[in-house]
Structure 1
Amino acid sequence: MDHEYEQDAALLLQLFILSVGLLLCLPGEPRNPSFFEQRLAWKRYSEKHQKRSTFTRRLRMGKDSFDKLLSFIVDDLLVNETQAVRRGGSIIPALCLYCTLRYLAGGSYLDITDIAGISKSSFYRVLWKTITAICKCPQLKIRFPNTGQEIKDAIDGFAGISDGGAISNCVGVVDGYLMRIKVPTKKETGNIRSFFSGHYQCYGVNIQAVADHHSRFIFFAYAAPGVSDDRNAMRQCALHGLVESLPAGACVIGDAAYIPTERMVPIYQGTDKLIPLYDNFNFYASQCRIRVEMAFGIMQMKWGILARPLGCSLKNMLWLAQAIARLHNFCINERLEAAGTVDNDTVLSTNGTGYIPSVPHDADGDPVRLDNIFKGSFEGNSYLREFMAKRIKGLQLQRPSRNKKRRRREDE
């Protein structure tokens, strides 16, 4: 019996080896033939679109700004030429930045790869390499004012756009932005439903952003899943600590979704906004607060990728959102520089006075030490907001009558 069992085992082994050999001999699925990709001649391409005045429309910035941005990140985009020859030629840094900007502007990877002469895999490789370089670039860093001079410059900027110097202690304006995403997978998050926003009826992430008087972002971060409201999202990121670390008298203005504190000043809501004192404050505070709304609008119109849900993973989405915010600031800085506006220099409102105080002042023109007015604070109450409303009343400023009529019609 043992001898017969050994014969059967040997026979089965031979049959197995024979079947494996036959499978190896069978023709496999044919591979796509390899061919040489002709890379885009960048110099000729850029010169052509400069002459046609279409360079800015394609890449959301002029050629000089493109070259300046490239100089910031070129070291991170260089490749090993020896290794690149084996893969069909190197993808130069200018071409990497071109592919990234064109994609963020709303272009399809299919069209971009055809124009640039690269494969799909190479496109996504250079895309994320460029986005990473932008996020790590120190010249493009988003900074929240933390030194005395930076806070003063920010306050002076908002004082310059506030009629009559009504708001003279605002450092920035805050709001939330729902960045739409595709439905995340279970591998990315344990609670997929938390990313669905019932208000907007789509999946997304809550972005908390603070803008300056030029609608540049001085804070921009993914704070929470889309289901979170702004007041809770603010606590889940570094913004809450930055705002509460501002010196006494300085504040950040937001909409009614935020909880008032001595440094977080939202506009009045509910029945409070019907009181003339608070209604006038809402009007002048909104003159500043609209800057963050403008920032979101400019960002979404300029970078067309935001017109559709982002299809990348949640991990990569953090890098993508940060890169878009930094490019948003870079484009505004380039526009201000081209217009001859010095950074942080704002022409003050002409209302008959040559000086607008950068901190709250009393009727005699002396600076008010708000830390002496109250001892401590608690959420839901703001002595500072009350003081700002009374200051506007003291300046004899009020909401224009034509604006009152329009607001009354909207309420009805």
Structure 2
Amino acid sequence: MRKGTFMELCDLLSPALKRKNIKMRAALTVHKRVAIALWMLATPDSYRSVWNQFGVGKSTVGAAVMQVASAITELLLSRVVTLGNVQVIVDGFAAMAFPNCGGAVDGTHIPILGPEHQGSKYLNRKGYFSMVLQALVDHKGHFTNINMGWLGKVHGARIFRNSGLFQLLQEGTYFPDQKITVRDVEMPIVILGDPAYPLMPWLMKPYTGILDSSQDLFNYRLSKCRMVVECAFGHIKARWRSLLTRLDLSKTNIPIVITSCCALHNICESKGETFMVGWEVKANRLAADYTQPDTRTVRRV
């Protein structure tokens, strides 16, 4: 991120991160604490590399990451990961050829080190240990609602049905009561999902099976709009590449770090920070290089 964005972030986090000097030593400044955390989140470096880079102890690096991640979650999450102006979002998806749409929902697996106990519950269908991040995004790929902490083995549809977002949509309180008429049918504001999600009055998913031309066109437009959530996941993992390197943290700290990355993603996107295509290429290569665990051994144990 640019210096201006970094300084603004430090100012916002200062109430939670500022420490007093003591007689034995001076406290780390807020700017250095935030810089260490951002470096660790953005680069798949070892702790040794980072503490050499910043001239601090190894334990200080780990503490700084969690302090900053916790501060972001407590102070900024509710301000930056929010629905915002619904009409702007609806107009944005309408420009992409899907009317009265309020977002696209999907989930992604964040790699973690295999836990000592109950490892099989974290083993996803792709064969590695993970936690699931479920997110609803707007037409620009900003996260408007996130759900973090589910085990990698749990199916995306189950996570969605047990999320607060599902409850709010079911009650009709998440979006304003704004309906349009399509061929004599009243259509509320909807979200878009892939075939794994349940078809609901407020959730549209693609047709399956043998399709006619109109159903093909519907699927094409839905898929075109739903791609924004896939792009958002690609961007967050490419910019904050620690999400690709199997987070070596406790299961209580992992959701905090991932949630803070979601907030940082929205900050960078809203500030118009540069995103280079090469980052995503490198991120995909990095993810493909990891050898996966022997799932037969895990299941036997």
TM superposition score category, shorter chain reference: 0.7 to 0.9
What's the TM-score once normalised by structure 2's chain length? 0.81
Correspondent of 1:218 among 135, 144, 148: 144
- Counterpart of 1:10? none
8 A Cα contact 1:223 1:236, kept in partner: no
Closer, same or farther: CA 260–223 of 1 in aligned 2, 3 Å: farther
- Counterpart of 1:101? 38
SS of 2:8's equivalent in the other structure is: helix
- Counterpart of 2:283? none
Alignment of 1:323-334 (within 5 A): 323-334=260-271
- Counterpart of 2:225? 288
8 A Cα contact 2:142 2:266, kept in partner: yes
Tell me, which stretches of 5 or more residues in structure 2 are unaligned?
180-187, 275-301
How far the C-alpha of 1:141 sits from its partner, in A, is 3.6
8 A Cα contact 1:174 1:292, kept in partner: yes
Query: Does the alignment pair 1:152 with 2:87?
Result: yes
8 A Cα contact 1:208 1:223, kept in partner: no
What's the TM-score once normalised by structure 1's chain length? 0.60
Q: Deviations over 1:18-61 (max 9, x none)?
A: xxxxxxxxxxxxxxxxxxxxxxxxxxxxxxxxxxxxxxxxxxx0
Query: Does the alignment pair 1:184 with 2:115?
Result: yes
State the structure with more CA Rg.
1
Identity %, equivalent residues:
25
Correspondent of 2:12 among 59, 64, 72: 72
Alignment of 1:5-404 (within 5 A): 61-81=1-21, 83=22, 85-86=23-24, 88-106=25-43, 107-138=45-76, 140-144=79-83, 150-160=85-95, 162=96, 166-186=97-117, 191-198=118-125, 200-222=126-148, 224-244=150-170, 245=172, 246=175, 247=177, 249-271=188-210, 274-335=211-272
Moved over 3 A (4+): 138-141
How far the C-alpha of 1:269 sits from its partner, in A, is 2.2
CA distance in 2, matches of 1:206, 1:130: 22
Tell me, which stretches of 5 or more residues in structure 1 are unaligned?
1-60, 339-412
8 A Cα contact 2:243 2:258, kept in partner: no
Aligned residues: 259
How far the C-alpha of 1:223 sits from its partner, in A, is 5.4
SS of 1:315's equivalent in the other structure is: coil
- CA-based RMSD of the aligned residues comes to 1.7
8 A Cα contact 1:195 1:227, kept in partner: yes
CA distance in 1, matches of 2:127, 2:226: 25
